[in-house]
């Protein structure tokens, strides 16, 4: 008789029932219900291993398999979650075990042979990491492709704007170049997710047991193959406590959302009337309950905050792991909860970001109208002096003086400034330098620059990578 309760997988050695408050404190069910499909897969693989070892007969294997399939069918509708809560299980693993015993009472007694929740948690969490890494990679690819397609269009239109550093006008760029930068970030984010998915295929923890393996003759390659791992893990003590790919998927999600957050920050500002570079369409905007005129870019603000949340969960997950000795200790339950929370929120934010981007409408006129503000051609003029043999230090000083004169007069740099600069620098010939944003952009010569040719090349290279 199990004093701990029918849904718990232990209790024989206890005389007293568990304290209800402590049991509730120790429950991870609400955190790990999302692992249910992965636990079912993991349990099916374990059934195959037990059957191959002759520990269960064909009939038992079949009954277990059918019960697990029935549970898999109950997951999408929420039916399984309701059952799990009603059972009062400690976690999703206990809930599936209890549900199997309810659906197939005799066979259900055998499912956990040679298995511990320790290798089970490690395996299901790895399968989860693999799945979410693939989902994250898809989202990043979608974002990158959208940015590339938008960039190609903006390149045809030669839409220009002033790039800022420190939010101050810096140099003229093509909108296509800005969009290309967004694509670069998400191509890298996609690759990061891809590496995590590959790592999550390497070593199957299943069959490690509690921490040292099993005396039952379990052929671990069976489960490894069923679950699409390259091989069983090499060291049971390590594999039950290994949370590397779990942390890596959260890391990849955090990094991707941080990238999305940086783009969001810029878009939020571009959508203000003061900037007016972009307008977020109705479908992605929200209004105010009080101010009738409002059009708020909430999705991008939420993405910005989601980056902070993901970063926080990553820090929490790492911190919860740092004091844990080798093998399994209960702290790891909290690590898992942080990984799941941060990854789910991060991927939801990435999906929202991908959904909101197509609703951004560029205002090329507003960008172009202000692209020349703030003396964005000053560097090109200094470069032109350098090309005439003037030292960069002197060129910087001369052009800086010219900017200060023009600013005092409330005008842009013009032909007369070039003449004055040529004179001040004692040039033999005339000083030629771009004075307009588009001329500045077209004059760029370096690979990876904002010149239309360099942007076109970068975009086609990115497309080839995708
Ligand atoms: N709920 C636990 C977790 O999520 C399950 C593992 C329990 N293992 C144990 N030895 N108590 O980590």
- pLDDT tens across 55-77, in order? 999 999 999 999 999 999 999 99
pTM: 0.95
Q: Are 124 and 31 in contact (CB under 8 A)?
A: no
Residue-wise DSSP of 123-160: HHHHHHHHHHHHHHHHHHHHHHHHHHHHHHHHHHHT-E
Q: Whose CA is nearest to atom 2 of ligand 1?
A: 333
Query: pLDDT, tens digit, for every residue of 270-323?
Result: 999 999 999 999 999 999 999 999 999 999 999 999 999 999 999 999 999 999
Phi/psi for 431 (5° steps) reads -95, 120
CA distance 464 to 40: 38
Q: Is 325 exposed, middle or buried (0-12, 13-18, 19+ CB in 10 A)?
A: exposed
Question: CB under 8 Å to 436, separation ≥6 — which residues?
Answer: 372, 377
What's the pLDDT score for residue 9? 86
Q: Is the pLDDT of residue 162 over 90?
A: yes
Tell me the CATH number of domain 20-113, given options 3.20.20.10, 1.10.275.10, 3.40.50.2300, 1.25.40.10.
1.10.275.10
3 state DSSP class of 313 = helix
Instruction: Indicate whether residue 91 lines ligand 1 (CB < 6 A).
Output: yes
Instruction: Indicate whether residue 336 lines ligand 1 (CB < 6 A).
Output: yes
What's the pLDDT score for residue 206? 98
Give residue limits of the domains in the chain: 20-113, 118-369, 378-433
Q: Are 141 and 254 in contact (CB under 8 A)?
A: no
Query: pLDDT, tens digit, for every residue of 374-426?
Result: 999 999 999 999 999 999 999 999 999 999 999 999 999 999 999 999 999 99
Looking from the CA of residue 26, the nearest atom of ligand 1 is: 1
Percent share of the chain, pLDDT over 90: 96
Instruction: Indicate whether residue 340 lines ligand 1 (CB < 6 A).
Output: no
CA distance 172 to 82: 58
Q: Is the pLDDT of residue 2 over 90?
A: no
Looking from the CA of residue 28, the nearest atom of ligand 1 is: 1
CATH number for the domain whose boundaries are 118-369: 1.20.200.10
Q: To test ligand 1's pocket by mutation, which of 36, 330, 338 has the most ligand atoms within 8 angstroms of CB?
A: 330
Q: Ligand 1 centroid to 117 CA: how many Å?
A: 6
CA distance 411 to 379: 17
278: β partners: 362
Query: pLDDT, tens digit, for every residue of 181-219?
Result: 999 999 999 999 999 999 999 999 999 999 999 999 999
Please name which of 251, 136, 134, 245 lies closest in space to residue 200, comparing C-alpha atoms: 245
Determine how many CB atoms are found less than 10 A away from the CB of residue 165. 8
CA distance 369 to 153: 19
Buried-state track 425-442, b at ≥16 Cβ within 10 A, e below 16: bebeeebebbbebbebbb
3 state DSSP class of 166 = coil
């Amino acid at each position: 008789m199990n004093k701990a309760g029918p849904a718990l997988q232990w209790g024989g050695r206890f005389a007293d029932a568990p304290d209800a408050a402590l049991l509730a404190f120790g429950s991870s069910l609400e955190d790990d219900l999302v692992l249910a499909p992965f636990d079912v897969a993991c349990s099916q693989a374990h059934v195959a291993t037990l059957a191959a070892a002759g520990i269960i007969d064909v009939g038992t294997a079949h009954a277990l398999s059918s019960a697990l399939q029935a549970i898999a069918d109950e997951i999408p509708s929420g039916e399984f979650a309701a059952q799990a809560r009603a059972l009062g299980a400690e976690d999703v693993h206990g809930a599936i075990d209890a549900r199997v015993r309810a659906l197939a009472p005799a066979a259900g007694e055998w499912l956990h042979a040679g298995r511990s929740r320790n290798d089970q948690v490690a395996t299901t969490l790895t399968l989860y990491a693999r799945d979410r890494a693939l989902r994250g990679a898809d989202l990043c690819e979608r974002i990158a492709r959208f940015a590339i397609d938008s960039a190609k269009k903006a390149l045809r239109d030669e839409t220009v704007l002033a790039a800022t550093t420190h939010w101050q006008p810096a140099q003229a760029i093509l909108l296509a170049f800005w969009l290309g930068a967004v694509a670069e970030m998400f191509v890298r984010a996609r690759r990061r997710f891809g590496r995590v998915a590959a790592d999550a295929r390497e070593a199957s923890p299943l069959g490690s047991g509690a921490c040292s393996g099993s005396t039952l003759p379990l052929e671990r390659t069976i489960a490894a193959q069923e679950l699409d791992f390259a091989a069983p893990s090499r060291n049971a003590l390590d594999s039950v406590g290994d949370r590397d790919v779990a942390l890596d998927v959260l890391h990849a999600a955090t990094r991707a959302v941080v990238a999305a957050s940086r783009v969001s920050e810029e878009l939020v500002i571009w959508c203000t009337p003061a900037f007016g570079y972009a307008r977020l369409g109705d479908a992605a905007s929200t209004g105010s309950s009080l101010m009738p005129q409002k059009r708020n870019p909430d999705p991008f603000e939420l993405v910005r905050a989601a980056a902070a949340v993901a970063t926080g969960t990553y820090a929490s997950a790492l911190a919860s792991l740092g004091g844990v000795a080798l093998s399994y200790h209960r702290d790891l339950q909290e690590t898992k909860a942080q990984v799941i929370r941060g990854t789910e929120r991060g991927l939801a934010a990435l999906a929202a970001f991908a959904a909101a981007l197509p609703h951004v409408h560029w205002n090329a006129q507003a960008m172009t109208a202000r692209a020349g503000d703030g003396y964005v051609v000053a560097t090109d003029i200094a470069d032109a002096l350098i090309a005439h043999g003037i030292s960069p230090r002197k060129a910087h000083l001369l052009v800086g003086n010219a900017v200060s004169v023009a600013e005092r007069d409330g005008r842009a740099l013009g032909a007369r400034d070039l003449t004055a600069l040529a004179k001040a620098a004692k040039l033999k010939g005339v000083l030629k330098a771009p004075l307009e944003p588009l001329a500045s952009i077209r004059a760029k010569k370096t690979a990876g620059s904002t010149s239309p040719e360099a942007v076109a090349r970068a975009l086609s290279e990115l497309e080839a990578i995708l």
